[in-house]
A and B are shown apart, each in its own frame.
Chain A
Amino acid sequence: MSIINITLIVYILASVAYIIREIWMSAGTKWAAVGLLIVAFCFNLTLVITRSIEAGHPPFSNLYESLVFYACCTVFIYLIFEFTYKFRIVGAMAAVLSMLILFYATLQDDTIRPIMPALKSNWMLIHVVTYMLGYAAFGIAFVTSIIFLVTKPFAKKQQAAVSAEEKDVSPINFDKLSYKIVAFGFPFLTLGMVTGAVWAKKAWGDYWSWDPKETWSLITWLAYLVYLHTPLVLPKMKVNKSKVSVILACWLLFAFGVVNFTFMGLSYLPSASDSEHIYGSK
């Protein structure tokens, strides 16, 4: 069995362990779940490293490589949060998200091709790594938003029920958590965009030329910029507080859609043939 299949299976196991942990809430299951996810991360990292050694270039020259790296970043960012905040059930979905990304990678052409001259740049390295970390954080925020929207109708009941039990299982504010994660990811997105512009200046002579990929990365940035500013606006417009968090959560789902479109969907645009940066258009 190839490493990629093993990684997929360990992701599923980790996900199951997180669900079991959510039901039993024992310390043993907690460490089993986190442990499995760390193992999956190590496997995924091995994939990234062996690929870059085999190919002889940083592993983001095509969609396959980028997806494997993306999956790796998603778990990495998740694990950072796991040790910072109480995350619990989010882990199950984060593991599934990474698994899906990796599975999508297995459907791609994994041929090693020589890297084109414009991609040989240190700026490109920083650009991709920061972007992927940003995207990964938004992936986690997407997960927390889904959980927020799904659990919202039960949240009040749960709160009442829980307050009687142990303190340890206090409900998590998934909407606030989403905001914190986006706040963590947004600087990475900004850095990614700026380093991308500097790299474009070095390689193509212009830091910004309204290429579809550039334009869509701006759209992504603006979408999260709106998200970060709306909490300042909506309360002033006398929108109900619980409605505000629902709107914000929905906006995050939409924004993550934009992220994925920017990442993978641009070849469907009619203007794609004019772009120099779109996967699959060469």
Chain B
Amino acid sequence: MKNVKNSQPVIVSNTRGNQSNKAQPERKDSNKLWDFFCSVKLAVVIILVMVVACILGTVVVQEKTLDEYTARYGYGLATFFRYTQLTNVFYSYWFSFLLVLLCTNLICCTIKRWRNTFLQTGFVLTHLSLVLILLGGVIKFQTGVKGGVNVYEGKSVNYFLTQQLDRNGKLDYVKKDLPFSIALDDFILEKNEPKFQLVSFVKSSDRQKTLEVKVGKKQRVPNSDYRVFIKDYIPDAELKQEPVNSSDSPNNPAVYVKMYGSDDVLAEGWLLANEQNFYDDKKQNLRIEYLWMPSSQALDKAAASVGNEKPTVSVAISDWMQEYPLELNKTIKIEGSSYAIKFVQYAFNYGDKRPLEEQTPENPAVLVEINGPEGVESRWVFEKFPDWDKMHPARYKEVKITCSGFTSTRLAKNTVRVLQSPDGKQTLVHISDGKIVETVPWELKKKHAIAGTNRQVEVFDYYPSFDFKREVMRKSDEVKQPAVLVEFDGPQGKMEDWLFANSQYATWYKDKNFALVYEATGDSIKHFTSKLRIVENGQTVAEKTIRVNDPLKHRGYAIYQSSYDPEAGQFSGLQIVKDPGIPVVYSGFGALCFGVIFIFYIKPFLRKKLKKGVEE
């Protein structure tokens, strides 16, 4: 291909090769520059530098506030990042320079190798398409805007907000006016129908697996020795439980306690020594506890002490373990490791919005901040669910944290302890303001007045082996609260249990290494749509129901459905984008796609057909 055609004669003379250069020494320098900008070598170098820049731009978190950088990297490194613009790599001066250089290189390279043959279509298209895409990017950067606004149902807006980092590295919102207003007529949030799944968990191998729920199906849990047999399924089940005493030996001691006001029973129920062993009367600031002691000596000892333990948090990393008293906001450096922990907050009942004093210890939890090599992880740990962190994603999986001592900690103003031991010793202790005021033996069906309150306590019944007779009832045939009857089979033989989808607890196999959970897959969002109306000078000029993936376009602005009010579903989050560079970028995309297909598929095919070796 010697037939070089070009619209720019100066360049043609330059590309004739080195022989002509020697004859014209005055042009040597400009030729050198031209060759430099034309070379593939430069292109490869620019691309490699871009690769490094891109890696840096994902390794260093981008566009955060100065405070966040200082907290993450320390002052020195944060300042360095700011000056080298590593905090905003992709919009930095040096990255822009790189892109300009690449663009120049692409243009020069294309001109130099221009042969105007059909086989070169792909080469020209791909190289110029990149220039187009970069040009489109510049148009977007110079004239485009992107922001968001929340609109409440029935309301309208004529502005939106854009986020910007100011000169001091602080996040700032800028209000931008729209040349029209957007009215939200209706917002619809559609949820997926609940689906349920049976998930198995093997503790020793830390593996979760979903099992098939099909009545009559026997299946082996993959990579384990456990088998699961689905025996029954009820789409809408209800559990009826009746307390029974299963034996006379004290396997699970429980007492039925009644609390009287003047004459009426104010509260009654079972207290289980091994589970729910207390009842709180808020009005009188009175707590009733049931404690089972292994011997009468132990009982006497317990009866004589107030027993006000402090809650503790224990931290374990592989074989190492240490217990710490719960002190808030004190950073504890863990020796021999790169971790430091801090207890930020605790609750007697997780998620309870009431003040701590009013909470009952139903679900005690501590919020722990773990500072490690990969940054800070905040994690809630629960006294009653010590394996919670094991079954949920955590950054520092090797750090195992549990807490205890919440349930026995809280002393009400008055505490009544019902103590009992296997040799028949029965003692009732009344503690008031942290002091023992009364110690008396108790008997079944006998009322005890609690001094200083107008309450009386009676132990009405005692079951040495408390158990439930459970019956599962079918409420309806609709899929509402499904339950499955599962037979577990493993190294310790078979066991059978009903699993309820509405239960929060896993059902463990005898060896405490294998558990099943039957749960809803979460009521995730299926669709969210906003019925929008564009109003100009009081006139509706456009209307559309937008959803994710389907925006409304008006006067160069595109309005996207981006989020929703997670609490009440009241407002719709809209994203508003104006990008005049889109046609340029999209034509670049088209050219790029067609170009690569041409180079790698069409051209080799044509070459084969022509049976000619055509060099680029």
Contact = CB atoms under 8 A, between A and B. Distances in A.
Interface residues of B, number: 60
Given A187-B596, A197-B589, A204 B562 contact: yes
Contacts of B597: 187, 191
A202 B549 contact: yes
Interface string B261-276: 0000000000000000
B36 to A, nearest CB: 13
B558 to A, nearest CB: 7
Interface in A108-154: 109-114, 116-118, 120-121
A259 B130 CA distance: 22
A229 B548 contact: no
A233 B40 contact: yes
A226 B102 CA distance: 13
Interface in A86-112: 106-107, 109-112
Contact of B548 (A118, A216, A218): A118
B38 to A, nearest CB: 12
B197 interface: yes
B560 A204 contact: yes
B243 interface: no
B54 A229 contact: no
B244 interface: no
A215 B58 contact: yes
Contacts of A46: none
B121 interface: no
A254 to B, nearest CB: 11
Contacts of A223: 51
A61 B40 CA distance: 40
A6 interface: no
Given A113-B522, A194-B593, A232-B40, A222 B50 contact: yes
A218 B589 CA distance: 14
A106 B209 CA distance: 9
A245 to B, nearest CB: 17
A31 interface: no
Contact of A112 (B146, B197, B592): B197
Contact of A190 (B41, B579, B596): B596
A112 B47 contact: no
Nearest to B550: A202
B217 interface: no
A186 interface: yes
Nearest to A110: B210
A109 B392 CA distance: 12
Contacts of A230: 44
A112 B521 contact: yes
B596 A205 contact: no
Interface stretch (A13-21, A166-174, A267-275): A267-275
Q: Which of A187, A212, A232 has the most CB of B within 10 A?
A: A187
A219 B592 CA distance: 17
Secondary structure call for the A interface:
helix
B30 interface: no
Interface string B63-105: 0000000000000000000000000001000000000000000
B58 A117 contact: no
B137 A210 contact: no
B527 interface: yes
A107 B223 CA distance: 10
B61 A236 contact: no
B48 A226 contact: yes
Given A222-B47, A233-B44, A111 B197 contact: yes
A212 B58 contact: yes
B197 A229 contact: no
B525 interface: yes
Interface in A1-38: 2
B94 to A, nearest CB: 15
B146 A113 contact: no
Given A187-B599, A191-B597, 17 more contacts: A109-B208, A113-B521, A114-B521, A120-B548, A121-B549, A187-B597, A202-B551, A219-B51, A219-B54, A222-B50, A226-B44, A226-B48, A226-B51, A230-B44, A233-B44, A270-B375, A274-B62
Interface of B: 40-41, 43-44, 47-48, 50-51, 54-55, 57-62, 90, 137, 146, 192, 195, 197, 199, 207-210, 222, 374-375, 393, 521-522, 524-528, 547-551, 558, 560, 562, 575, 577, 579, 582, 585-586, 589, 592-593, 596-597, 599-601
Interface of A: 2, 106-107, 109-114, 116-118, 120-121, 183-184, 186-187, 190-191, 194, 197-198, 201-208, 210, 212, 215-216, 218-219, 222-223, 225-226, 229-230, 232-233, 236-237, 266, 269-271, 274, 280
8 contacts: A114-B192, A186-B596, A190-B596, A204-B560, A206-B577, A216-B54, A222-B50, A274-B61
